[in-house]
Structure 1
């Protein structure tokens, strides 16, 4: 019996995308994609999500790619410009689950501890969660199994009674390895259908 729902935040409930910023900084789309694929990479950003300071991460990258210094510094200097709105249809699902009173609702997110307060101020629905575990604060991140287990332990959740929702298949598979049923999020419609199929909605 599922009594706990665990949400990822970015790309599930919150529209965060570096393209929003860098389309204003690059005239050429291919150059922008090359920069984000080869320089300010997802792997580099995830080190900040795992607890490395934004300043340290920035300086390391500037040292490696001094010719791209301005664009590297913009990543966190203008980070708020990467934030879009909420995915309202998914927020509506979250609201329905919360208001049902049947489930504890948590978030497990890979997010820098330094930028997460900006999201807390911007997205009111983050206050609906019974708890949020932020990778940058804990200095560990998905798909590390200890990160999932931290949430389970902290909030006294049994893995077999939880359902995890994430857009990243890597993170979904990691959750399943620690015994948490999971949904690989692709759209709000698909999520709604899968929750209905499980008699959760």
Structure 2
């Protein structure tokens, strides 16, 4: 990090960065329950209609109807949505790290998400209280891969330039656009790796 640039805002992805990889756990569980090919489950759960759902252009009931039909899911598996959402839990150490960073910087979330999942996790963990603000894809009708989602976030934090913002995400493809636009970026692997990276950049000090 350029020492002449003062960091003002740290932005976190949620699933796979602050929370566990709940979608992957759900896919593994569904693959086992259906005794089918994992790639097939991925192609349905993470298919084109998944992005439509996250843009809030498709209802939850329509999305899950497609999933059940394409994967031939038996009724005995019950509520797939609840099964999916229950796979998420905060990554140990991450809530405390976010809280520590918030003492010195503005902290935000930026997430491809759905209103149902946000509501479920908020009721369970009150995670929105960990952040100053943020953007969910369903709120603005666009996802990270569409481009421009970071510019929408910046409107919520006026007078902050891209160079003063650090984006943390566990998917490298989600960091390409912000990196090229001048944002600082970190590819998340685990809390220990992130802490080491933040220490190298002078964002946090070694205790």
Query: Is 1:158 aligned with 2:158?
Result: no
Aligned equivalent of 1:118, options 112, 120, 139: 120
Query: Is 1:94 aligned with 2:70?
Result: no
Query: Is 1:57 aligned with 2:63?
Result: yes
Once the two structures are superposed, what CA deviation does each residue of 1:61-90 show, in whole Å capped at 9, x if it has no partner?
Answer: 455x2734659984325333332x211222
| CA RMSD, 1 decimal | 2.7
TM-score of the two chains, using structure 1 as the length reference: 0.84
Per mean C-alpha deviation after superposition, the further-off stretch among 17-26 and 30-39 is: 17-26
- Give me the whole-angstrom Cα distance separating, in 2, the residues matched to 1:15 and 1:200: 24
Structure 2 residues without counterparts, runs of 5 or longer: 1-5
Where does structure 1 differ by over 6 angstroms across 4 or more consecutive aligned residues? none
Would the aligned equivalents of 1:8 and 1:107 in 2 still touch at CA under 8 Å?
yes
Would the aligned equivalents of 1:175 and 1:182 in 2 still touch at CA under 8 Å?
yes
Per mean C-alpha deviation after superposition, the further-off stretch among 171-180 and 161-170 is: 171-180
Structure 1 residues without counterparts, runs of 5 or longer: none
Query: Is 1:196 aligned with 2:202?
Result: no
The structural deviation recorded for 1:43 is: 4.4
Q: Against the structure 1 CA distance between its residues 32 and 118, is the aligned structure 2 distance closer, same or farther, given a 3 Å change threshold? A: farther
Q: Against the structure 1 CA distance between its residues 61 and 24, is the aligned structure 2 distance closer, same or farther, given a 3 Å change threshold? A: closer
The structural deviation recorded for 1:136 is: 1.2
The structural deviation recorded for 1:119 is: 1.3
Q: Against the structure 1 CA distance between its residues 142 and 37, is the aligned structure 2 distance closer, same or farther, given a 3 Å change threshold? A: same
Aligned equivalent of 1:31, options 26, 29, 36: 36
The structural deviation recorded for 1:153 is: 1.4
Give the corresponding residue for 1:137: 139
Once the two structures are superposed, what CA deviation does each residue of 1:15-56 show, in whole Å capped at 9, x if it has no partner?
Answer: 242454465555478626244223223544333222132122
Aligned equivalent of 1:106, options 90, 105, 108: 108
